[in-house]
Amino acid sequence: MAEPRTRIQQKNRGAILDAALEVFSQHGFRGATLDQIAEVAGLSKPNLLYYFPSKEAIHVELLSGLLDSWLDPLRELDGAGDPVDEIVSYVLRKLEMARTLPRESRLFANEIVQGAPRIMEIIEGPLKALVDEKAALIAGWAEAGRIAPLDPHHLIFSIWSTTQHYADFDVQVRGILGARDDAHFDDAAAFLDRLYRRALTPD
């Protein structure tokens, strides 16, 4: 069994992962270097390599932790709740993650754009299983007439698109809106709430 990490080891690992998140989210996996990560972390490269043997090892650890937290809002979709409220709440939780975790969103987007070489097993395994489970729940709501009839998988994809856009294309959004703070997230929340409620409410 591995020995528990000391406080300084935990601090250094945390500094490396935070620095790597910054570097990877800006430059992608291919454009990032261990030298850049070490510099941002305030550590020497040999010190960094004491904790992680490679750039890929850092990247995989970041992605694994990210995916777990990234899926929490979808896991919270509750079959016992009101269907429209549950789905709209999911939309708003995803939007809040785009606001508070933009680097994490861009890290994931960069990995997907590259063909997901380091997380394809997760996408085709646990992620697919969770999405299929929640899609079946949404399909059941539609069949029961509790929400409008729609394709549940494409509904989930649309939610990802309309929320994560605010993180992945943050510069574009702010440039077009002339945004200097995060007030546009409140406007986006109101818009998406209205949009999805209208789309989901049965005729």
**Cβ proximity of 79 and 137 under 8 Å:** yes
Q: Are residues 174 and 78 in the same domain?
A: yes
End-of-domain residue from the set 62, 85, 107: 62
Q: Answer for the pair 117, 135: CB distance below 8 angstroms, yes or no.
A: no
87 burial via Cβ count (<10 Å: 0-12, 13-18, 19+): buried
- 83 inside domain: yes
Q: In which domain, by residue range, is 149 found?
A: 71-200
In a shared domain, residues 101 and 149: yes
Alpha carbon distance 117, 119 (integer Å) = 6
Q: Which of 37, 62, 87 is the last residue of a domain?
A: 62
- The reported pLDDT for the residue numbered 199 is 97
- CA–CA distance from 46 to each of 16, 63, 187 (Å)? 12, 23, 47
Q: What is the rounded distance in angstroms from the CA atom of residue 172 to the CA atom of residue 101? A: 17
Q: For the whole model, what pTM was predicted?
A: 0.85
Per-residue pLDDT of the chain (203 residues; tens, 9 = 90+): 455 678 888 899 999 999 999 999 888 888 999 999 999 999 999 999 999 999 999 998 888 888 878 889 999 999 999 999 999 999 999 999 999 999 888 888 888 888 988 888 889 999 999 999 999 999 999 999 999 999 999 999 999 999 999 999 999 999 999 999 999 999 999 999 999 999 999 98
Give tens-digit pLDDT for 25-78. Answer: 888 888 999 999 999 999 999 999 999 999 999 998 888 888 878 889 999 999
Whether residues 143 and 183 fall in one domain: yes
Q: What CATH code is carried by the domain that includes residue 92?
A: 1.10.357.10
158 SS3 class: helix
- How many structural domains is the chain composed of? 2
Distance CA 68, CA 38 (A): 25
Query: Can you give the pLDDT at residue 28?
Result: 84
Say yes or no: 96 and 163 in one domain.
yes
User: How high is the pLDDT of residue 201?
Assistant: 97
Looking at the fold, whether 51 and 84 belong to one and the same domain comes out as no
Look at residue 1 and tell me if it is in a domain.
no
Whether 51 and 12 have beta carbons less than 8 Å apart is answered as: yes
Secondary structure (3-state) at 4: coil
